Structure 1
Amino acid sequence: MGETFISSGTAPIAVRDFGGPGRPLLLLHGAGGNLAQMTGLAQHLRPAHRVVTVDLRGHGRSGDGPWHWNEVLADLAAVADDLALTAPAMVGVSLGGMVAALWAQRHPECPGAVSLDGNPTLSRPEQLSGMDPEQAATELAKLRAVFDGVAAMLAEPLSADQVAAALAGQRAMAERYGAAPEDWVAAFERNLVPCGDGRSRVRPVPELTEQLRKAMESLDLIPAYRDTRCPLLLVLATEDLPEQQAFHELYAAYRRSTAERLASLDNPSLRVLHLAGASHAMVAERPQELATLITDFLSADGVFSPIQSS
């Protein structure tokens, strides 16, 4: 398993190559994460694929750069070219899933792309099916306040004690999901940048975090889902994260709206799977099951079916 930097694009991109015997696959993390968070899923996918995990720009050990979808896609093209990955499959979670869907739209030669709950950020009343508009606006304002508070907290440097507390929290989260605590600690530490005064900052930097938020709020993926000629699988969550339960009605309405918009599409290249019992943390919850789903979907011998739910 080797780690290297790809410097042929507009931002240096850190990658980790797990090797593997099959067709190449780029594996993309979510917003605020990094490639270390994808280690478990990568290991489950490796028997069938040559798996390469990526730190998206501004995350982990990759370079900074403005968050424009076209430039992020160009980063991945540079990775594929530099590593001689011919027509790689693309798999991503959350933000990485959005990138995978955009890649599928623009690369009909791609053998397949998978988005693991890669939905744009919930931010507008029209995204909420069956919910009173006034109530929706009120709840969205409360949700935005929560996001603002988290962003403000992450923008401040962390003391050594705060870092230690955060690492303890990562170990506790790993235990909740039955994952390896050292992997979760490594993922958190990968986004830490020492300030030189005993404190550390968490990547991505506040400017990029705000760019990401605006980009994810304004993104409409329906054109990508409608136009893709590359096989594209959307695996969607059906349950709330613990942190989302205070906004249960809001997220339930968003899931309904997303399902209704997808059901209106007629594209034989698109498959939709509503994964029963899974939350946005599905990669931590069910890595082996997801690896099997992904491998079967990307298999040349697999049966490709149109939109369906499960």
Structure 2
Amino acid sequence: MFDRGRVISAGEAALYVAEAGRRDGAPIVLLHGGLGGRSDFEPLAAHLAAEHRLVVLDSRGHGRSPLGDAVLSYRQLTEDVAAVLAALDLGDAGIIGHSDGGIVALRLAASGLARPRFLVTVGAHGSLPADDPTRALYRSVTAAGWREMFPAEVARYEAENPAPDFERLFEAVRAMWLGTGPDAYPDQSVRRIAAPLLVVHGDEDILVSRAQAFELAEGVAGARLLNLPFASHTVLQDSPAEVAPALTRFIAGIGRDGTAG
């Protein structure tokens, strides 16, 4: 579905952007998670393409976008997305972000670099304290272990990236996951988000706890929380038919003034 696209410059990065769905539909920008790519959204896109213009990009280092020389951080990815949105005149598009893509969406809306019509975050951390067990999990995983767990995803990356170096990408992404400070997780800045927000959480997500999803939803005025039982971190890929009705209802309930109904 997202095999044909174009390259858009974001500073020194060249980001691959593809589209699907209705060209005249309300735009939704899709932001994938770490070590993933644009194809991760194909299961969900099948439920949204009939009514929406879907725009998806490979973040730097992922898919068909080279890593470049900048240090990978959530701040850098946020600036990359802002540059793409400006180039496409999509600063007010809706955004659906999974995992790292959701973190970037939160930072983007909190920063004012864009004013999205709505946000949907799926399996995304608003904050990650120093003692959070997820940090220990991130420290324990290796590039070799990731290759063993996700061979098809790594093979796809190596087949289509213009300068594939999975070990380098893995270390850059893991450093971003473990990052702290103003370039890392949005933390209390989420309280500045004015866009309607739907927080989607799989109840068996091993990275984001139920309490963290609740905390994020409570931290943004008017936010909604969808907690799906028996669902994992990859709920958009595993159970798109369960998520899509809630997304459709959430989007349909947003008024013309950008407020949730």
TM-score (norm 2): 0.78
1:42, 1:53 within 8 Å by CA — same for their partners in 2? no
Instruction: Name the residue aligned to 2:247.
Output: 294
CA distance in structure 2 between the partners assigned to 1:99 and 1:39 by the alignment: 20
User: What pairs with 1:170-189 in structure 2 (closer than 5 Å)?
Assistant: 185=152, 187-189=153-155
1:296 is aligned with what amino acid? R
Deviations 1:26-81 (A, max 9, x none): 10111111111112212221112100111111211112132233332221122223
Q: Aligned match of 2:121 in 101, 104, 115?
A: 115
CA distance in structure 2 between the partners assigned to 1:4 and 1:211 by the alignment: 29
Q: Which has the larger share of helix? A: 1
Q: Is it true that 1:267 corresponds to 2:221 in the alignment?
A: yes
1:94 is aligned with what amino acid? S
Shift of 1:101: 1.4
1:34, 1:190 within 8 Å by CA — same for their partners in 2? no
Instruction: Name the residue aligned to 1:210.
Output: 174
Does the C-alpha gap of structure 1 residues 152 and 166 become closer, same or farther in structure 2, counting only changes over 3 Å?
Answer: closer
CA distance in structure 2 between the partners assigned to 1:203 and 1:298 by the alignment: 39
Instruction: Name the residue aligned to 1:283.
Output: 236
Shift of 1:96: 0.7
Instruction: Name the residue aligned to 2:99.
Output: 94
Q: Is it true that 1:191 corresponds to 2:191 in the alignment?
A: no
Does the C-alpha gap of structure 1 residues 222 and 211 become closer, same or farther in structure 2, counting only changes over 3 Å?
Answer: closer
SS in 1 for 2:13: coil
2:21, 2:48 within 8 Å by CA — same for their partners in 1? no
Instruction: Tell me how large the CA RMSD over aligned residues is.
Output: 3.4
Shift of 1:276: 2.6
Q: Aligned match of 1:18 in 3, 6, 20?
A: 20
Q: Is it true that 1:66 corresponds to 2:71 in the alignment?
A: yes
CA distance in structure 2 between the partners assigned to 1:72 and 1:44 by the alignment: 27
The unaligned stretches of length 5 or more in structure 1 are: 128-139, 168-184, 195-199, 245-250, 306-310
SS in 2 for 1:205: helix
Q: Aligned match of 2:198 in 216, 233, 257?
A: 233
Structure number, greater radius of gyration: 1
User: What pairs with 1:15-164 in structure 2 (closer than 5 Å)?
Assistant: 15-20=17-22, 21-64=24-67, 65-85=70-90, 87-107=92-112, 109-119=115-125, 124-125=130-131, 127=132, 140=133, 144=136, 147-153=138-144
Deviations 1:220-261 (A, max 9, x none): 444243221111111122124xxx4xxxxxx79x433553x3
SS in 2 for 1:191: helix
Shift of 1:192: 1.2
Identity of aligned residues (%): 27
Aligned residues: 248
The unaligned stretches of length 5 or more in structure 2 are: none
2:190, 2:220 within 8 Å by CA — same for their partners in 1? no
CA distance in structure 2 between the partners assigned to 1:291 and 1:299 by the alignment: 12
Single out whichever of 204-213 and 278-287 deviates more from structure 2: 204-213
2:138, 2:177 within 8 Å by CA — same for their partners in 1? no
SS in 2 for 1:14: strand
2:193, 2:220 within 8 Å by CA — same for their partners in 1? no
Shift of 1:300: 5.6
1:10 is aligned with what amino acid? E
1:57, 1:63 within 8 Å by CA — same for their partners in 2? yes
1:59, 1:203 within 8 Å by CA — same for their partners in 2? no
CA distance in structure 2 between the partners assigned to 1:110 and 1:263 by the alignment: 17
Deviations 1:106-138 (A, max 9, x none): 34732101101112686633x5xxxxxxxxxxx
